[in-house]
Every structure is written in structure tokens, then in C-alpha cells.
């Protein structure tokens, strides 16, 4: 029996965020109604179809290529790479893959490119929806880390709001440096210092660091007056993580640890209690501290987990 996988990608055009591809194997007798190219579906419709596809598909594979790789190999090659990864992550190996657009040259699975396939082939339509919703969810979380940029709204595309944010705040670590509008607005250490954004950037980098460790970033800079603010609120499985971030640039990095003293921890404890009263009662939580040392090539992190309150 021939097993066909449909493959599509999303995220070629944005200035920020990864490119994501999906490979989907549907049964011939699937009962999914309303499959279309994801770009022609509303957000509500895509999100309704997403779990239905997951439920009926024989296999789904997701491929993600980050911005560093995009900048290194270019967006076209990154797109092909994401598709290759998606095919490789399928739980069963298809006998053939149908690719939206052009075929994959370096792929051991026989494949065929179909121009406009996301409007013609159900498995490609399903892959388009899976890839789109998956990437949108990623950009929503980046929106939590970088609320100034509105990623949850435009998903990294070059809208007027996004372009104005680039001019005001400069580019972030999730922007594609090889894209001209981003390259023109790269921050420097001097600029960050002049704009008093050293600590601001350290908090963003700490959040990305936590995300790379598998935590979900829920909120940044939660105001808990009169006790100050909580720099990062993250989730690790069923545990909430409240994070204090300290950043050093040109100063002694060892001095950062001394700044988180008993007075600071007491204030943080009160802030967490304030958060509990505002939002919800929390059974399982911990307090972390991350020291971020800004360096020329890449930042250095010191992560202290589960700090105890006196």
C-alpha cells in the first residue's frame, strides 16, 4: 500500500522567528471537512482544524529551522531543511512525499513538487494548517518575551507596527539578521547603554535561555506594586517559576550574585503573594535567579534554581 505524506512550510517572509514545516500522512478515508491552504482560512478555523487533523492523521512530523541557521544558509535552503526535518520526524516512513512547490533534491524518500499543492492535495492542505498553527503558537510565546514588538499579532511579518518597533527598540535575537530591514537596525552595546536598556536586554536573553531549556514564558515584568515587579514568570510542567534577572556589562559579573540578598528575596516573596492574590493560588512554584553577562560573541548565563526564602 502506498503511504503518501503531504509537506508544506510557513515562515519564508517574516523578519523574525523560525521557518516551520509539517509533514502529514492522512488516511484515504479521512473525514476532515474544510481543508484548505492555511492562508485562506481564518485563525479560528485553522485552530479548530488543528486537533482534528492531529486526531485523524496517521503521522505528523514538524521541522523547525531557527534564525541563526536561516542567516547562515539563506531562507530558501532553510525552508528545504525544515521540510527534510519534518519528513524525518514522521512516526512511519512514507513511500512518497508530495511537496508544496518544488521537490526536495537531497531526500531519500521519493518526492514530487506540486505548485499550488496547498490548494489541491488534502495532505498538503493539512500540513499547511499544522505548520501555520505551530509557528503562530511559537510567535505568541515570543510575544510574551518581547511585548514591545507585537509578535503575537503579526507573527514576525514586516507590518507598520513591527517596522516602527524595530526603529525604536532595534532588532532582537529572534530577528533574521540577513534580512535588510533587520540588518539596518542592529543594536550595539553602546546604544543599549545610552538608552538604559542593558537590564532590559538581559531579561529578554534570560527568557530565551529559559525557553531553550524547555520552560514556557508566560509573562515579563509583572507589576506587583508596592513590592516592585517580577522579571519573568515561566512554567515548567506543573510548576510556576518566578525569575529575578541581573545583568552585567563592563561591570564585575561576580557582583551580580550579591545583589540578590535577603532584602531582595523578601520583596520577591511579597510580590509572589501579591501575584497569587491577583491571579490564582499557586501550589507548586520556585524562585530562580539568572545572572546575564553581556559579551561580544554571546551572553554568559549563571542560573540558580530553587532559591529558598528565609
Q: Is residue 151 part of a domain?
A: no
- Give pLDDT tens digits for 65-99: 999 999 999 999 999 999 999 999 999 999 999 99
Domain boundary among 126, 142, 158: 142
Domain total in the chain:
2
Q: Is residue 209 part of a domain?
A: yes
- Name the residue with higher pLDDT: 166 or 309: 166
CATH number at residue 239: 3.40.1350.10
CATH number at residue 77: 3.30.420.10
* Predicted local distance difference test score (pLDDT) of residue 136: 98
- 200 and 135 together in one domain: no
- Give pLDDT tens digits for 246-281: 998 866 555 555 556 677 777 888 888 888 888 866
Q: What is the 3-state secondary structure (H, E, C) of the chain?
A: CCCEEEEEEECCCCCECCEEEEEEECCCCCCCCCCCCHHHCCHHHHHHHHHHHHHHCCEEEEEEECHHHHHHHCHHHHHHHHHHHHHHCCCCCCCEEEEECCCCCCCCCCEEEECCHHHCCHHHHHHHHHHHHHHHHHHHHHHHHCHHHCHHHHCCCCCHHHHHHHHHHCCCCCECCCCHHHHCCCCCHHHHHHCCCHHHHHHHHHHHHHHHCCCEEEEEEEECCCCCEEEEEEEECCEEEEEEEEEECCCCCCHHHHHCCHHHHHHHHHHHHHHHHHCCCCCCEEEEEEEEECCCCCCEEEEECCCCCC
pTM for the predicted model, two decimal places: 0.91
- 8 and 138 together in one domain: yes
Averaged pLDDT score across all residues of the chain: 92
Amino acid at each position: 500500500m502506498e503511504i503518501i505524506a503531504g509537506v508544506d512550510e510557513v515562515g519564508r517572509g517574516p523578519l523574525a522567528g523560525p521557518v516551520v514545516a509539517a509533514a502529514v500522512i492522512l488516511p484515504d478515508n479521512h473525514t476532515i471537512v474544510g481543508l484548505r491552504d492555511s492562508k485562506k482560512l481564518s485563525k479560528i478555523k485553522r485552530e479548530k482544524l488543528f486537533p482534528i487533523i492531529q486526531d485523524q492523521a496517521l503521522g505528523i512530523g514538524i521541522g523547525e529551522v531557527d534564525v541563526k541557521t536561516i542567516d547562515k544558509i539563506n531562507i530558501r535552503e532553510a525552508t528545504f531543511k525544515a521540510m527534510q526535518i519534518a519528513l524525518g520526524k514522521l512516526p512511519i516512513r512514507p513511500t512518497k512525499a508530495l511537496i508544496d512547490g518544488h521537490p526536495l533534491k537531497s531526500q531519500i524518500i521519493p518526492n514530487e513538487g506540486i505548485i499550488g499543492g496547498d490548494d489541491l492535495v488534502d495532505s498538503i492542505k493539512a500540513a499547511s494548517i499544522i505548520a501555520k498553527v505551530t509557528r503562530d503558537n511559537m510567535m505568541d510565546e515570543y510575544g510574551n518575551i518581547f511585548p514591545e514588538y507585537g509578535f503575537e499579532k503579526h507573527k514576525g511579518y514586516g507590518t507598520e507596527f513591527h517596522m516602527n518597533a524595530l526603529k525604536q527598540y532595534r532588532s532582537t535575537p529572534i530577528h533574521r539578521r540577513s534580512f535588510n530591514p533587520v540588518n539596518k537596525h542592529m543594536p550595539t552595546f553602546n546604544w543599549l547603554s545610552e538608552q538604559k536598556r542593558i537590564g532590559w536586554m538581559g531579561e529578554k536573553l534570560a527568557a530565551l535561555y529559559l525557553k531553550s531549556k524547555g520552560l514556557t514564558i508566560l509573562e515579563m515584568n509583572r507589576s506587583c506594586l508596592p513590592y516592585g515587579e517580577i522579571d519573568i514568570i515561566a512554567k515548567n510542567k506543573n510548576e510556576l517559576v518566578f525569575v529575578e534577572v541581573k545583568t552585567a556589562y563592563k561591570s564585575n559579573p561576580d557582583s551580580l550574585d550579591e545583589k540578590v540578598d535577603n532584602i531582595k528575596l523578601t520583596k520577591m516573596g511579597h510580590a509572589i503573594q501579591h501575584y497569587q492574590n491577583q491571579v490564582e493560588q499557586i501550589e507548586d512554584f520556585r524562585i530562580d535567579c539568572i545572572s546575564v553577562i553581556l559579551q561580544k560573541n554571546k551572553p554568559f548565563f549563571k542560573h540558580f534554581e530553587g532559591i529558598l526564602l528565609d
